[in-house]
């Protein structure tokens, strides 16, 4: 059994890691940290984790074979640094190691990077694109929740060279994506039965989308216009993506391109009807539905995933499984909870 | 036109007062205050009040003929004191003048009362019970949102002497009752699709219920076991009340008692089917539905109201109308918004 | 007082018409019809309309000076025909008279038009584009809920000639847009905390968007790629619109174009921050927020409205006011109910 | 591996059985039936069951070692009869075998019982009360969702003889309890952000509560006044129960009575803070929180459970495990999905 620790278990990504790892057949969760909650039992903070309870400590207290950090960016790289330096395999749920270009990171995140020397070795943890590199690295940068859906939605078309270099990503996110913290903005009374767009001046997840899609393109940079929206739901991201077809392709050809691209993937699934976010609730699936709009020549691709699972903790466990040479789906077999 | 001010417009009761008063035919809203929002336009804080905008000031800046305070308790009485002393008619949305017994107030609210000398003159602002006193006072204590439904639900039965002195009040409240403030506890992700009971050790609204129902009873104190619940909705309180019938009465007799009690009331309505909270959305109605359970001898009374209207701002405007000798329903004629 | 009738009051558009007309100062609602509900009181079907109750009849029973139809398409034109023939001014909430091109209507709606001879005289009831024609017609085709937001969002840019002829309209609608009928698909358990795209093969509101935007363009037809989504909320449409700028314009210039276009409009408002649907709840406002994405050269315009008010019944009353020469905002002054 | 069949997989209890059984280590789901969906793949009807798909047939098509019926009452007993007669162990999710008294069944359910001769042998499947009988029977009547919470909430107090014989059960249920069918009443637009009481004239689950609690009492029949409510959530029942203490007991004594009663139970848990329904989402837990109200002498017990798991399918699998001599928690170990 691999001994695993979670740095900052007290957010939604952290608690979701604890939930999934508790039932994982090949690992033991041995240490969880928190800041203000240090000293409390995990079940005091998260009553649903009553069966997985242990004391929250300020630092990782047991020797661990594997570490996750679910801290915010900057703090995350800083806390992970000693583990990385010691050769402990690590997954960073934050954005610190996702962007290969340091100035891009520092422009979007407005901080100096705490350990830029580890950026190069880090692998962007989207197994559908980087499985073999993940297998060989000791540091995975877990993708952002929005880029996971958008990159998976557009990757087959971009790689196949059937679309132009401009993509519109209109994403509708559940509120848990905003994290677990005291705020009025994300209060129930403010957001219930309500919907709005935000970050219209630019969102930090956009450079990830650009980086990953551009790498797949043989025609240079892919430009993404990304507009996130808050939807009155707890979990889930529904992404609707629009791009102009650069050559005439039929719906059947597009279906083939998408099905081939994801043929062997356990969690990226091309589905036969428009997917709903609830069909992924609590599961690691990303559902994809491409449609050719013949009258306008636009390719529309809909994606649906659970932002806390495939968009965060589940992807982390999938990456861990690959890094440790375990069955890639271990701990992730539970079906979505619906309705 | 009566010139009206609102102290602390930046909570949900305050903004709801502004919404209702904006369309009131007989009053002008001339001054609104806020603390952290002072200097901002009302429409910056509440975009839906764009048509009613004015600058938020730290203190009431215009001479006013009538004042509402929507501050929290203690702070409210303190800010109202100079107005009361000057003879400006006032309505306190907070709890400061509701309880006639000072020690009871200080035990439940855990503060020293800022101006106890005004308690006696204050009238408990439930027009259905105290209309003639409201007409003659210059200080109204607006009832709590929970007591409004519970007292209206039980008053006819208690006054008629058909029930025992013990009442169970099981109330389900929308989250806006918790106010407008930064908190994790009332975050969307925490409360959406979720339900819980709280304040099981006792809630501050219970002594109001006891005070008002006991005053109607010819058999001594009425004891209320009150359990509030948070329901995943923005507005609305559904109250389900249980008490043992002390004499044999039929459903028809109970219907008569309730219909007679509220025969001339514009806002307390006995309805022919179980009411739903959404049927009161944005309106000043309190819907009541009494049922005799013949097999157990229990009288069940369901009440439904909008906690921000009949449970706060609407009741305040109704009280103001009575105090000023206006049409009691002025400004309150809009039908509920449904669905 | 103008005597008004509503054909088919028992859907959400019909009941919303009754709600708004009840408080209208210049009209009397004198007759309402329904099919299965004929013979019932309006308040039995809609308890929130208790103050506006009257008996639902199978046909309009009183002589009326003005008639609304809220029937589904085809049935609507058929029932309106005798009124139109008699010269009674009428507003059709359905789609029957919206499309000027009969074959387009018959292709999308898959029915033969019941009275094609009235199409030409009908005016598309978007006052922001057609006010003077509305003033002079006796037959208004009330716009669809989606086209209202999309056309208002794109009209200033299209007319100003600053954008290309392709528009993407990504709309998120509350479930009341699906109407009031027995279905599993729109059940609470199916849609709560869930989100999905639908009509990916084409939606009937798209030809309306194309018709109205193309008429404003000096460069030929505007092509709209329209994808509607169901969001877990009752009311509201949030539209996010994307189009490529055809010339270099600054954010300030775009703001001027939009503010000038809607300078005298009572209900179309250019707002200073991204609008949320809840800010329009129960009101006739359409909020608009244009943003230039400088790095991609895309103009993003967000729109928010209440689908049952500005998207249906409220627009109908606004049109009626114009047709009757009344104050255009009569009956529509109530502020949005928020939160 | 035990070969299991589900009769009527197309409701929410049926699909939840399929979800849970798919990951059960000791059984194989080999046959599922449906009526209108016969011939379809399970994944067409329930896309979240894509990994568990199989063809839905009109009748059980494989020989099975164990059968669940999730049909409505009457139809259920009729379809189960041949299996029971053949000695196939069976669990009936419907109400057909819950009530020991035939006239009570026929009065509440208004049908003639299709196979009354099997009632006596059937065991009421609440393992916390009847584990040893469940172990020995071939026919389990799975409890109703409301009685599960109410009986577990009151059983310790009733058995300990500390309360009077009258219990008030105020239950708030998620809408999935109403099943999966086309209806307007349970439409999203009708129930979102809304709450109401129903069945105020009596609900079919009341005689189950009375039967089970009376059997635990040494003082005769326990009378239950049961009022169910619809809450705007998909899953979950929050029950708040009120009964008068018949002797003076302290909170500590009550805690001991409850903890002792459930000391060895894997799923009935006495918790240290008021439970929220979301803490049980997708899990088989029933959370219990007893509170003594010292000023009124009332014992309040709050219960929380997932109506589709511990209130239906999960309880069914727990009963199956007991009947088959498997580990009682097999297939039920997944932690709740929160938030």
What b-and-e string marks burial along C264-288, b requiring 16 or more CB atoms within 10 Å of the CB?
ebbbbbbbeebbbbbbbbbbbbbbb
Kindly report the length of chain C.
Answer: 339
Tokens of B231: 């329901």
Closest by Cα among C277, D172, A211 to B197: D172
Q: Could you give the percent of chain C with pLDDT greater than 70?
A: 100
Six token digits for residue A221 = 């940079």
**Chain C residue with Cα closest to B277:** C48
Residue percentage of chain A with pLDDT more than 70? 100
Identify the pLDDT of residue B138.
98
B268-285 per-position pLDDT tens digit: 999 999 999 999 999 999
Predicted pLDDT at D277: 98
If phi > 0 it is left, if psi is from -120 to 50 it is alpha, else beta; for residue B238 that is beta
The residue in chain D having the minimum alpha-carbon distance to the alpha carbon of residue C179 is: D189
What lies within 8 Å, CB to CB, of A85 at 6+ separation is none
- How far is residue B127's CA from residue B262's CA, in Å, rounded to a whole number? 11
pLDDT digits (tens, 9 = 90+) for C182-224: 999 999 999 999 999 999 999 999 999 999 999 999 999 999 9
Contacts D224 to B, Cβ<8 Å: 296
Q: What span, in angstroms and rounded, lies between the C-alpha atoms of A33 and A24? A: 19
Encoded tokens for D171: 């239950």
| Residues of C marked as catalytic | 145
Closest-approach residue (CA) in chain B for D287: B196
Q: What is the pLDDT averaged over residues C295-314?
A: 98
The whole-number pLDDT of residue D282 equals 98
Interatomic CA distance for residues B186 and C208, integer angstroms? 42
> Do D12 and A339 contact (CB within 8 A), yes or no?
yes
Chains that touch A (3 or more CB pairs under 8 A): B, C, D
Q: How far is CA A326 from the centre of its chain?
A: 20
- Least CA distance to B15: which residue of chain C? C338
Q: C248 pLDDT exceeds 90?
A: yes
Cα-trace Rg, chain B: 19
H or E element: which one contains A154? helix A145-160
Residue D123 in tokens: 């065991």
Angle between helices B145-160 and B206-216 (to 10 degrees): 20
| CATH code of the domain made up of A146-307 | 3.30.360.10
Q: Yes or no: say if B317 and B125 are a contact pair by the CB < 8 Å rule.
A: no
Nearest residue, CB atoms, A335 vs list D22, D275, D281:
D22
Residue B16 φ/ψ, nearest 5 degrees: -70, -35
CB distance from D289 to chain B under 8 Å? yes
Nearest by CB to B279, which of C48, C279, C333?
A: C48
| CA-based torsion, B142, B144, B145, B150: positive or negative | negative
What pLDDT sits at residue D148? 98
A200–C300: do the CB atoms touch at under 8 Å? yes
Partner B, chain C 113-172, Cβ-Cβ below 8 Å: none
| Torsion over CA: A246, C170, C269, C317 (sign) | positive
Residue B53 clears pLDDT 90, i.e. is over it: no
CA B316/CA B299 separation, integer angstroms = 30
CA distance D68 to chain A (A): 20
Separation of alpha carbons B100 and B122, rounded Å: 9
Of the candidates A47, A193, A337, the beta carbon closest to that of D282 is on A337
Is the Cβ of B36 closer than 8 Å to some Cβ of chain A? no
Distance from CA of A5 to the nearest CA of B (A): 25
By C-alpha distance, the chain B residue nearest A46 is: B190
CB–CB of A301/A153 below 8 Å? yes
**Which three-class secondary structure string do you get for B271-326?**
CCCCCEHHHHCCCCCEEEEEEEECCCCEEEEEEEECCCHHHHHHHHHHHHHHHCCC
Report domain A2-143+310-324's class: alpha beta
Per domain, the residue ranges of chain D are: 2-143+310-323, 146-307
Task: With CB atoms and an 8 Å threshold, state whether C48 touches B269.
Answer: no
Distance of CA B34 to the CA centre of its chain: 21
Among residues D46, D37, D264, D6, the alpha carbon closest in space to that of D142 is found at: D6
Q: pLDDT tens across B82-114, in order?
A: 999 999 999 999 999 999 999 999 999 999 999
Pairing state between β A298-305 and A286-293: antiparallel
**pLDDT, mean of residues D91-114:** 97
* CATH 3.30.360.10 is the classification of domain B145-307: yes
User: pTM surpassing 0.80?
Assistant: yes
**DSSP code per residue over C20-46:** HHHT-SSEEEEEEE-STTTTSBHHHH-
Of B197, B233, B296, the CB nearest to D166: B296
Cβ contacts of C104 on chain A, cutoff 8 Å: none
Task: Say which of D181, D184, D189 has its CB closest to residue C176.
Answer: D189
DSSP 3-state of C309: helix
For residue D93, report the phi and psi dihedrals to the nearest 5 degrees: -75, -20
Chain D residues within an 8 Å CB radius of C190:
188
Chain B residues near residue C192 by CB distance under 8 angstroms? 193
Q: Where does the pLDDT of residue C149 fall: very low under 50, low under 70, confident under 90, or very high at 90 and above?
A: very high
The reply to whether residue B196 touches residue D275, judged by beta carbons under 8 angstroms, is: yes
C50-58, long-range: CB within 8 Å, 24+ apart, which pairs?
C50/B269, C50/B271, C51/B335, C51/C22, C52/B335, C52/C18, C52/C19, C52/C22, C54/C29, C54/C30, C56/C9, C56/C10, C56/C32, C57/C31, C57/C32, C57/C33, C58/C33, C58/C34
In B, minimum Cα distance to C331 occurs at B334
Does residue B51 belong to the interface with chain C, where contact is any CB pair within 8 Å?
Answer: yes
**pLDDT band (50, 70, 90) for residue B167:** very high
Q: Is residue C339 within 8 angstroms of chain A, CB to CB?
A: yes
Contact between residue D259 and residue D270 where contact means Cβ atoms under 8 Å apart: yes
The number of angstroms, rounded, from the C-alpha of A170 to the middle of its chain's C-alpha atoms is 17
Nearest neighbour of A227 by CB, restricted to C189, C227, C300: C300
Positive or negative, the CA dihedral A16, A20, A22, A26 is negative
Min CA distance, D265 vs chain C (Å)? 31
Q: How far is A287 from chain C (nearest CA, A)?
A: 12
pLDDT, tens only, D148-164: 999 999 999 999 999 99
Residues of D in contact with B232 (CB under 8 A): 231-233
Determine contact: B289 vs chain C, CB below 8 A: no
Adjacency order of strands within the sheet including A123-124: A56-57, A27-33, A2-7, A66-69, A90-92, A139-141, A123-124
Nearest chain C Cα distance for residue B335, angstroms: 6
Chain B CA closest to residue C23: B334
- Which one, of A171, A208, A198, lies nearest residue A96 by Cα? A208
pLDDT (average), residues A146-154: 98
pLDDT (tens digit, 9 = 90+) per residue, B229-253? 999 999 999 999 999 999 999 999 9
Here the tokens at position D44 are: 């067409």
Q: What is the pLDDT of residues C159-177, one digit of tens each?
A: 999 999 999 999 999 999 9
Q: Touching check for D183 and chain C: CB below 8 Å?
A: yes
Q: What is the pLDDT of residue C68?
A: 98
| A53, pLDDT greater than 90 | no
CB pairs under 8 A between A and D: 76
Cβ–Cβ below 8 Å for B189 and A183 = no
Rounded to a whole number of angstroms, the CA Rg of chain C reads 19
Query: Rounded to 10 degrees, what is the CA torsion of C109, C110, C114, C116?
Result: 70
- CB-CB neighbors (< 8 A) of A224 in chain C: 296
Residue-wise pLDDT for B58-68, tens only, equals 999 989 999 99
Q: Which residues of D touch A275 (CB under 8 A)?
A: 47
Q: Is the pLDDT of residue B170 over 90?
A: yes
**For D228-263, how does the pLDDT look when each residue is reduced to its tens digit (9 = 90+)?**
999 999 999 999 999 999 999 999 999 999 999 999
pLDDT at C53: 87
The C-alpha of A153 sits at a distance from chain D's nearest C-alpha, in angstroms, of 19
Decide if B264 contacts B252 (C-beta within 8 A).
no
Are the beta carbons of D339 and B192 separated by less than 8 Å?
yes
- What CATH number belongs to D2-143+310-323? 3.40.50.720
Structure tokens at A51: 């069966």
C-beta atoms surrounding A220 within 10 Å: 8
Residue pLDDT, tens place only, A67-103: 999 999 999 999 999 999 999 999 999 999 999 999 9
Q: If pLDDT is split at 50, 70 and 90, which confidence band does D3 have?
A: very high
Cβ separation A47–D333 shorter than 8 A: no
């Amino acid at each position: 059994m691999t001994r695993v620790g979670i740095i900052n278990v007290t957010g939604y990504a952290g608690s979701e890691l604890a939930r999934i790892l508790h039932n994982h057949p090949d690992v033991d969760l041995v240490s969880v940290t928190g800041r203000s909650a240090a000293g409390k039992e995990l079940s005091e903070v998260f009553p649903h984790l009553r069966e997985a309870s242990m004391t929250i400590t300020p630092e990782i207290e047991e020797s661990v074979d594997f570490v996750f950090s679910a801290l915010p960016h900057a703090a995350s790289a800083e806390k992970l640094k000693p583990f990385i330096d010691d050769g402990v395999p690590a997954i960073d749920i934050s954005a610190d190691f996702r962007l290969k270009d340091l100035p891009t990171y520092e422009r979007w995140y407005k901080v100096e990077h705490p350990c830029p020397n580890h950026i190069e070795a880090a692998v962007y943890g989207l197994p559908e694109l980087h499985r073999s590199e993940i297998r060989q690295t000791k540091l995975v940068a877990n993708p952002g929740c929005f880029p996971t859906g958008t990159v998976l939605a557009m990757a087959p078309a971009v790689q196949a060279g059937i679309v132009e270099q401009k993509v519109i990503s209109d994403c509708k996110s559940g509120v848990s994506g905003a994290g677990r913290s005291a705020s009025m903005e994300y209060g129930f009374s403010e957001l219930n039965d309500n919907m709005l767009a935000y970050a219209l001046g630019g969102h930090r997840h956009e450079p990830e989308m650009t980086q990953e899609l551009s790498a797949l393109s043989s025609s240079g940079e892919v430009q993404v216009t990304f507009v996130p929206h808050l939807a009155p739901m707890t979990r889930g991201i529904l992404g609707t993506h629009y791009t102009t077809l650069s050559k005439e392709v039929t719906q059947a050809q597009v279906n083939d391109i998408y099905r081939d691209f994801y043929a062997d993937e356990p969690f990226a699934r091309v589905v036969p009807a428009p997917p709903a976010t609830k069909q992924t609730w609590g599961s690691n699936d990303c559902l994809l539905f491409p449609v050719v709009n013949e009258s306008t020549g636009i390719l529309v691709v809909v994606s649906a995933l659970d932002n806390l699972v495939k968009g965060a903790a589940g992807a982390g466990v999938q990456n861990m499984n690959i890094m440790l040479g375990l069955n890639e789906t271990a701990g992730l077999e539970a079906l979505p909870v619906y309705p």
